[in-house]
């Protein structure tokens, strides 16, 4: 139920805010608005105030506005002509159309400002210089010759200030050749790294890890670690005689040994202790891994700002997120990032529910990110989207006359084909990502088998 409610809230707010942008500028510009609906489908409740009917509709996934004269061929009475959208100046019409995406950016800005005011936690390493704490064996980073202790200074001549910058660069450049400048023992060294495509969304992966020592923070009661004698604060020094220098190294050792007893060497205070623990088997998709029920001790930073600094931080975060979204979409369009990066309704449903379960702050971060993405996609110059309408108005301004309806209709058909194809792609990637296609085929195969058996 949390997933359904959070999905409805996210899409409802984002689309409603977008449509409200069109609505408020239309009203301010003297354009008649016949209907403003919260939701789609049949009207549930509503009231007419002046010329505008305000209503709540049955399907709470956004909203829409109906504007007088939105269609150039729409018949408008003499009384309504002065309020017709098509009779207004190009500048006014562009403002009405463009304010939808702008409101989505404004929503992201407001959410970031609120987050700054109420405060939020981030892992401390995200703001730390990107010094390598550990390298995953057989990873692109190991193949590139990187070592523990290396400080990554630049990537493709771009200065890298912290782990957040580095993680974004790696994630947004799968299969790309990256030129790294690394400081190693006071000497600058050049390396070439090619992140591989990995994960549900096909992002770049290098195998670089920040420093995270294997210190236990929490233990799940009744799990193997608890039953085996481990305690909060224990430092895992070795497993089966192999030195453990990093939390992920330790976790991978446990994952890969679900079927055997492991001998843990632990430092507790000034004591060195030994424990024999057998991980419990856990089925992760088609692979079985071992778990013992522990979580790492990770330093975090709590950030909270006063009003002025919250506004500044909110603006900077919105600009940063907008720039990164444009970068990712451009690389997607130019084929430098896989289509697997695209997420559709199923991905939004999954991520909205996960963010809601982890807390209001994560939910606000997620909504801000999605709001920026919606704004950027909407200004793409594709007919039927706001960007397509802005393109038509730009052409009209240059030509000093509107585009013919025949040309508009042809463009709208092309735009519809593009949008339908994009929808099919994101639905397919979603279904493939969450193994829905195989699930459906398994169900169909089971049904056929039962029918044949009964026959």
Q: What are the catalytic residues?
A: 19
Q: What is the CA radius of gyration of the chain?
A: 27
* Phi (first) and psi of residue 207, to 5 degrees: 90, 15
User: Around 268, how many Cα atoms within 13 Å sit in the side-chain half-sphere?
Assistant: 13
Q: End-to-end CA distance of the chain: give it in Å, rounded.
A: 39
How far is residue 107 from each of residues 17, 65, 219, 371, measured CA to CA in Å?
A: 8, 19, 39, 7
Place of tokens 């220098």: 245
DSSP bridge partners of 134: 209
Rounded CA separation 29/188 (Å): 59
Rounded CA separation 192/214 (Å): 29
Torsion of CA 282, 288, 290, 294, to 10 degrees: -50
Q: 129: alpha, beta or left, given left = phi > 0 and alpha = psi -120 to 50?
A: beta
Rounded CA separation 385/101 (Å): 10
Judge whether 209 and 298 are in contact, CB under 8 Å: no
Judge whether 172 and 328 are in contact, CB under 8 Å: yes
């Amino acid at each position: 139920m949390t997933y359904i409610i959070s999905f409805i809230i996210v899409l409802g707010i984002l689309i409603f805010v977008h449509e409200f942008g069109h609505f408020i500028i239309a009203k301010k510009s003297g354009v008649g608005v016949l209907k403003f609906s919260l939701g789609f489908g049949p009207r549930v409740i509503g009231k007419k105030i002046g010329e505008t009917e305000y209503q709540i509709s049955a399907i709470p996934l956004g909203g829409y506005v109906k504007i007088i004269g939105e269609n150039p061929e729409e018949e408008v009475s003499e009384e309504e002509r002065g309020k017709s959208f098509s009779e207004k100046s190009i500048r006014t019409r562009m403002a009405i159309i463009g304010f939808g995406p702008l409101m989505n950016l404004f929503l992201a800005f407001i959410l970031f400002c609120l987050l700054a005011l109420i405060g939020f936690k981030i892992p401390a390493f995200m703001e730390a210089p990107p010094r390598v704490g550990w390298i995953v064996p057989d990873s692109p980073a190991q193949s590139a010759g990187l070592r523990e202790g290396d400080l990554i200074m630049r990537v493709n001549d771009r200065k890298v200030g912290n782990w957040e910058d580095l993680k974004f660069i790696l994630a947004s450049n799968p299969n790309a050749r990256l030129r790294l400048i690394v400081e190693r023992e006071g000497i600058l060294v050049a390396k070439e790294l090619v992140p591989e495509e990995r994960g549900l969304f096909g992002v770049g992966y290098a195998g670089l890890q920040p420093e995270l020592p294997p210190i236990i923070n929490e233990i799940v009661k009744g799990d193997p670690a608890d039953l085996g004698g481990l305690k909060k604060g224990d430092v895992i020094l070795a497993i089966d005689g192999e030195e453990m220098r990093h939390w992920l190294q330790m976790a991978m050792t446990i994952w890969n040994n679900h079927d055997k007893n492991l001998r843990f060497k632990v430092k507790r205070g000034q004591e060195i202790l030994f424990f024999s623990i057998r991980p419990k088997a856990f089925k992760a998709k088609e692979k079985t891994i071992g778990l013992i029920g522990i979580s790492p001790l990770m330093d975090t930073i709590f950030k909270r700002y006063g009003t002025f600094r919250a506004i500044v931080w909110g603006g900077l975060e919105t600009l940063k997120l907008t720039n990164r979204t444009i970068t990712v979409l451009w690389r997607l369009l130019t084929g430098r990032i896989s289509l697997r990066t695209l997420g559709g309704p199923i991905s939004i449903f999954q991520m909205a529910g996960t963010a809601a379960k982890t807390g209001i702050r994560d939910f606000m971060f997620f909504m801000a990110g999605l709001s920026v993405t919606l704004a950027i996609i909407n200004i793409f110059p594709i007919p039927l989207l706001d960007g397509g309408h802005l393109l038509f108005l730009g052409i009209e301004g240059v030509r000093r006359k509107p585009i013919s309806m025949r040309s508009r209709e042809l463009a709208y058909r092309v735009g519809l084909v593009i949008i339908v194809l994009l929808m099919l792609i994101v639905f397919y990637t979603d279904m493939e990502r969450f193994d829905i296609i195989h699930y459906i085929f398994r169900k169909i195969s089971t049904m056929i088998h039962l029918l044949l058996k009964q026959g």
